[in-house]
Structure 1
Amino acid sequence: MSSDLDKRVEEFFRTYQDRGMKKWAGFYLSDYTAKINKDKKRRNTVYIKKKNNADCKIKLNTLEK
């Protein structure tokens, strides 16, 4: 059994061709585009300044008089 496994492992490593950077480029590209999309979403967020309560009370007081 182990000799059969040894033969299969030896055959695998003898014929295996490493893809090198091609293999990792996909991971890098997906991580990079995810970061770019996250930053783009953050930059496109528009925050609207809300009026504080003091401004509303001042307007109500002037309308009541």
Structure 2
Amino acid sequence: MTGTGSLRWFKSTYSDGGGGNCVEVAHDMDSIHIRDSKNPAGPVLTVSGEAWAAFLALPDASATP
């Protein structure tokens, strides 16, 4: 795993930039890293790419036909 200090972090394009609730996401060769945009020096949640893909698929899986 890469140290999180050298990662390139991204915010959602839906973020208003006004200090609202937002997370930042970064990736390396093995993992996805998620942190609170208001506390970039705080804890970082690290998950596998497969776990991140499953998380992103949840809204589609819960949609009613």
Bin of the TM-score, shorter chain as denominator length:
under 0.3
Name which one, 1 or 2, has greater alpha-carbon Rg. 1
More strand by share: 2
Name the structure, 1 or 2, with higher relative contact order (CA <8 Å, separation 6+).
Answer: 2
Superposition TM-score, scaled by structure 2 size: 0.25
Superposition TM-score, scaled by structure 1 size: 0.25
